[in-house]
Structure 1
Amino acid sequence: MTLEPKVYIVGAGPGDPDLITVKGLKILQAADVVLYTDSLVNEELIARHKPGAAVLKSAGMDLDEMVAVMIESVQQGKSVARVHTGDPAIYGAIMEQMSLLKKAGVAYEIVPGVSSVFASAAALQAELTIPELTQTLILTRAEGRTPVPELEKLTDLAKHHCTIALYLSATLTKKVMGELSDAGWSPDTPIAVVQRATWPDQKIVRTTLANLDIAVRENNIRSHAMILMGWALDPTLVDQDGHRSKLYDKEFTHRFRKGVTTHG
């Protein structure tokens, strides 16, 4: 595969080196320069780079340093794989990189990846949208040192009583408990915390809203964790028949199948 001299912002997935997309892997294997988030991206994946490629770690760089490397490389006719964890579109801090690249006249392309929210759901064997229970998934984070917009406070979002996925919030569990309680969530609402989803040391903790903070502290979870909340996380749902999708209902007609109505 021959790459154009531009920046490819690639989502590397949640951790498992096999969970990068085929396109993302091809770019990694063909790029002249690989700049990756070494604090989060699996080294086994980065080891698949092209022989002779320049491989640089970005954890110790600031924004200007990172972008300078990308700009200089492309101006020299090289292709750059800027490898991010998960999917770049969610808490990826890519907008500021794209802004500077655009100002410098450097072309870039984004290649999506598997987000930790979906890797966590897979680890939990959970469906996050359950018919007649919850059909909405909110991706957000608790408010900490970085503020959230006034209209996106967790208490207000939680009033929808749908499934909520919290990024970057493992150290704010007491705050989360208070805000969800204020929104009327039941203390026995199921919650699952997945730390380092798909990595060999992946940790899964199932708990309830009332016990969230205790469960996180007892399991020493402070970072790299996804918190999934809501009744879709109830592990007993798979044993129940009351929330089945209409998609495969034998009496449900759609474009590809005519439903069969039975009469008693």
Structure 2
Amino acid sequence: MTVHFIGAGPGAPDLITVRGLNLIRRCPVCLYAGSLVPCEVVAEAPAGAEVIDTSRLDLDAIVARIERAHVEGKDVARIHSGDPSLYGAIAEQIRRLDRLGIAWDITPGVPSFAAAAAALGRELTVPGVAQSVVLTRVALRSSAMPDGETLAAFAATGATLVVHLAIRHIERVVADVLPFYAASTPAAVVYRASWPDERVLRGTLDSIAEQVRRSGIERTAVILIGPALAADDFRDSRLYAGDHVRAFRPEPKG
């Protein structure tokens, strides 16, 4: 028996991986993360499977159901939204499973920040503009941020910032990064990236908070900030330069 932690992707049901979908189709127990996982994905569970929405369950109850499946010899599809390595709360589940001697594995999924970048039609790492992407959040009721992991510290690098779970605090996000980015720095918000009701707001640091307020968006959105979001006057990368020699394109002879 194995517990399969599966990333369902950002929302569109066809963005789940083939491996993840095949696992769901053969697992007799399916635990999924409520409204964040498309119903079309959960519907792929086999006929007669036990399908449980874990949104109202605490960690003890979730692990107890997995323990029961372990005793019954039934594989479990533990479905998370996006990619489970980001804000998926799988570490605490895995710790419990290890203590219980229950086997597990992880199938990655398309993360929400990648779907948001696709919705914007932008590369987040542009030559000479930004070569790093910071995925972060702000301290709220759930978990405190470790010392040193502040928006100000990340903004000081000039990287592209992707802020999760913070849309209700957009004003605070803007205030924290403004000392390091110009007010005209591009900023965007993508609500429910890849879902049918996806919404995209584009602006700058001095306008994005007002756009969010007027939109009424209060959840399930990522905030993106940085010059790469609107970069146009940048040099081409060396990757496809004619004189760039690499392993699969050696230097011409003669």
Q: Same fold (TM over 0.5)?
A: yes
1:58 aligns with 2:54: yes
Report if the CA contact (8 A) 1:12-1:87 is conserved: yes
Equivalent residue number for residue 72 of structure 2: 76
Equivalent position to 1:171, from 168, 172, 177? 168
> For 2:64 and 2:108, how far apart are their aligned partners in 1?
23
Report if the CA contact (8 A) 1:250-1:259 is conserved: no
Query: Which string of whole-angstrom CA distances, capped at 9 and with x for unpartnered residues, describes residues 108-151 of structure 1?
Result: 11111110000111111110101111101110012223321111
- Aligned CA-pair RMSD: 1.2
> For 1:60 and 1:256, how far apart are their aligned partners in 2?
52
Q: TM-score, normalised by structure 2?
A: 0.96
What letter matches 1:167 in structure 2?
H
Report if the CA contact (8 A) 1:32-1:78 is conserved: yes
1:164 match: secondary structure? strand
Equivalent residue number for residue 109 of structure 1: 105
1:172 match: secondary structure? helix
Equivalent residue number for residue 99 of structure 1: 95
Report if the CA contact (8 A) 1:31-1:81 is conserved: yes
Report if the CA contact (8 A) 2:201-2:208 is conserved: no
2:188 match: secondary structure? strand
What letter matches 2:153 in structure 1?
D
> For 1:212 and 1:36, how far apart are their aligned partners in 2?
33
> For 1:67 and 1:224, how far apart are their aligned partners in 2?
26
Report if the CA contact (8 A) 1:87-1:112 is conserved: yes
What letter matches 1:253 in structure 2?
V
> For 2:93 and 2:144, how far apart are their aligned partners in 1?
21
Report if the CA contact (8 A) 2:137-2:164 is conserved: yes
Equivalent residue number for residue 189 of structure 1: 185
1:42 aligns with 2:59: no
Equivalent position to 1:33, from 25, 29, 32? 29
Q: Which moved more, 1:15-24 or 1:137-146?
A: 137-146
Query: Which string of whole-angstrom CA distances, capped at 9 and with x for unpartnered residues, describes residues 171-216 of structure 1?
Result: 111111111013x210010011100000000000001111121111
What letter matches 1:255 in structure 2?
A
2:207 match: secondary structure? helix
- Structure 1: 5+ residue runs without aligned partners? none
Report if the CA contact (8 A) 1:13-1:87 is conserved: yes
> For 2:135 and 2:32, how far apart are their aligned partners in 1?
24
Equivalent residue number for residue 129 of structure 2: 133
Equivalent residue number for residue 156 of structure 1: 153
> For 2:27 and 2:125, how far apart are their aligned partners in 1?
38
> For 1:256 and 1:39, how far apart are their aligned partners in 2?
45
> For 1:154 and 1:41, how far apart are their aligned partners in 2?
29
> For 2:52 and 2:158, how far apart are their aligned partners in 1?
43
- Structure 2: 5+ residue runs without aligned partners? none
Q: TM-score, normalised by structure 1?
A: 0.92
Paired residues, number:
251
> For 1:224 and 1:144, how far apart are their aligned partners in 2?
15
**Following TM superposition, where does structure 1 have runs of at least 4 consecutive aligned residues deviating by more than 4 angstroms?**
none
Equivalent residue number for residue 246 of structure 2: 254
What letter matches 1:248 in structure 2?
Y
> For 2:194 and 2:97, how far apart are their aligned partners in 1?
32
Deviation at 1:259, TM superposition (A): 5.8
> For 2:222 and 2:175, how far apart are their aligned partners in 1?
18
Report if the CA contact (8 A) 1:144-1:172 is conserved: no
Deviation at 1:39, TM superposition (A): 2.1
Report if the CA contact (8 A) 1:88-1:113 is conserved: yes
1:225 aligns with 2:221: yes
2:98 match: secondary structure? helix
